[in-house]
């Protein structure tokens, strides 16, 4: 991870512990983490990585019926305002992340045909 400002975390739920073990000794103070891992809370990420570094959690969603997408984002308390996206994401409380993955008409893996 070297001197990276942003480190993106993406893994399946059952691979998260393995990922954390491989990277936690390489964490530096300047690293900001952005997670797109479904079902893994900011608290869990910080605990597994044994870090107080800033963490953002993104939950992308594509609505099949409307053919429109949205992404919910949650920031840890240590995430500086200057590093947050403006006007490009909806910030939601972490306990509301599941709302961004609407149950009906949602499928993040769907490819839409060109019209």
Given a cut of 70, whether residue 98 has pLDDT beyond it is: no
Given a cut of 80, whether residue 73 has pLDDT beyond it is: yes
**What's the pLDDT score for residue 109?**
40
Given a cut of 50, whether residue 103 has pLDDT beyond it is: no
Does any domain span residue 57?
yes
CATH code at position 66: 3.40.50.720
C-alpha angle with apex 78: 17 to 2, nearest 5 degrees?
60
**What's the pLDDT score for residue 106?**
47
Does any domain span residue 72?
yes
The parent domain of residue 38 ranges over 6-100
Look up the pTM and report it.
0.69
Given a cut of 70, whether residue 85 has pLDDT beyond it is: no
Does any domain span residue 112?
no
- Asked if residue 88 lies in contact with residue 64, where contact means CB atoms within 8 angstroms, the answer is no
Instruction: Report, as an integer, the average pLDDT of 17-46.
Output: 93
Does any domain span residue 16?
yes
């Amino acid at each position: 991870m070297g001197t990276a400002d942003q480190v993106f975390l993406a893994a399946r739920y059952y691979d998260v512990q393995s990922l954390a073990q491989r990277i936690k000794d390489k964490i530096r103070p300047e690293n900001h983490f952005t997670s797109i891992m479904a079902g893994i809370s900011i608290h869990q990420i910080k605990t597994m990585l044994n870090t107080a570094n800033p963490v953002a959690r993104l939950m992308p969603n594509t609505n099949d019926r409307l053919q429109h997408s949205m992404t919910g984002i949650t920031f840890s308390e240590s995430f500086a305002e200057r590093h947050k996206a403006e006007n490009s994401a909806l910030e939601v409380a972490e306990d509301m992340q599941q709302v961004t993955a609407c149950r009906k008409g949602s499928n993040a893996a769907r490819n839409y045909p060109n019209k």
